[in-house]
């Protein structure tokens, strides 16, 4: 059985949402998000940098939410939620999966970090403004695609939308996703209405 170590509202949403979409059984173990627990030897043994999520199945233990999505698709997807290999659609699906975490979630994560770790509680305003500008550039890229299609890869919901859905959730939370990007807002609303996403957001 797949087990996802999770904290409500964090990136564990991605593998949980995917399991929901594919009807794959899984269990969620909620962990203590305090720095003390995440720095403990017990947690570092599963997640060397002290982050969430972690996923286990049998004797396999993984960190990195995107890798978990790949692993679940490989084992249980039977071709669902990914386009046929060696097609333009497949290339685009992979591109947007990586973009969601490597390019888009990066400045969003830095907003969290710079709000949290600034010395003496002050925020580093110019860094946060720069992160927001970089995140908006990413939303421009998404906008240009979803103004012509329902999802990132044409009109079929795919794994790329699960990866992006979490990043857009963060962008929405930080006020970066606004009416300046109406097609992306409508796209996010479509994702937000999916029962799998709702279940994943409520998990934990
Ligand atoms: N690239 C990693 C990022 C993991 C990550 O940053 N997780 C956040 C929660 S969503 C976390 O644990 N933050 C605590 C910290 O960075 O100290 C993934 O996709 O799993």
Q: Is the pLDDT of residue 117 over 70?
A: no
Q: At what angle do helices 13-22 and 65-76 cross, to 10 degrees?
A: 20
Per-residue pLDDT at 115: 75
Residue ranges per structural domain of the chain: 2-80, 88-200
- Pick the more confident residue, 114 or 78: 78
Q: How far is the CA of 131 from the centre of ligand 1 (A)?
A: 17
Q: How far is the CA of 87 from the centre of ligand 1 (A)?
A: 31
State the closest ligand 1 atom to the C-alpha of 109, by its place in the atom list counted from 1: 6
Decide whether 2-80 matches 88-200 in CATH topology. Answer: no
- pLDDT tens string 49-80: 999 999 999 999 999 999 999 999 999 999 99
Per-residue pLDDT at 1: 96
Q: Is the pLDDT of residue 88 over 80?
A: yes
Q: How far is the CA of 105 from the centre of ligand 1 (A)?
A: 10
Per-residue pLDDT at 126: 84
Fold classified for 88-200: Glutathione S-transferase Yfyf (Class Pi); Chain A, domain 2 (1.20.1050)
- pLDDT tens string 11-52: 999 999 999 999 999 999 999 999 999 999 999 999 999 999
State the closest ligand 1 atom to the C-alpha of 10, by its place in the atom list counted from 1: 10
Fold classified for 2-80: Glutaredoxin (3.40.30)
Q: Is any ligand 1 atom within 6 A of the Cβ of residue 47? A: no
Measuring from atom 14 of ligand 1, which residue has the nearest CA? 51
Average pLDDT over residues 90-114: 95
Confidence label for 113 from pLDDT (cuts 50, 70 and 90): confident
Q: At what angle do helices 65-76 and 88-98 cross, to 10 degrees?
A: 140
**Minimal CA–CA distance to 19: which of 65, 83, 50?**
65
Average pLDDT over residues 130-150: 97
């Amino acid at each position: 059985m797949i087990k996802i170590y999770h904290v409500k509202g964090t990136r564990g949403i991605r593998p949980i949402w995917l399991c929901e979409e594919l009807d794959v059984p899984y269990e969620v173990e909620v962990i203590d998000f305090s720095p003390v627990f995440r720095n403990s030897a017990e947690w570092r043994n599963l997640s060397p940098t002290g982050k969430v999520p972690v996923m286990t199945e049998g004797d396999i233990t993984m960190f990195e939410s995107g890798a978990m999505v790949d692993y679940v698709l490989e084992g249980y997807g039977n071709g669902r939620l990914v386009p046929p290999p060696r097609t333009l659609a497949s290339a685009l699906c992979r591109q947007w999966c990586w973009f969601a975490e490597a390019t888009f979630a990066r400045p969003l994560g830095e907003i969290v970090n710079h709000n949290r770790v600034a010395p003496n509680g002050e925020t580093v305003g110019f860094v946060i403004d720069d992160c927001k500008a970089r995140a908006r550039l990413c939303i421009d890229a998404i906008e240009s695609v979803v103004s012509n299609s329902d999802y990132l890869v044409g009109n079929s919901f795919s794994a790329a939308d699960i990866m992006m859905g979490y990043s857009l959730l963060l962008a929405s939370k930080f006020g970066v996703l606004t009416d300046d990007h109406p097609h992306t807002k409508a796209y996010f609303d479509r994702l937000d209405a999916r029962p799998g996403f709702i279940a994943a957001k409520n998990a934990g």
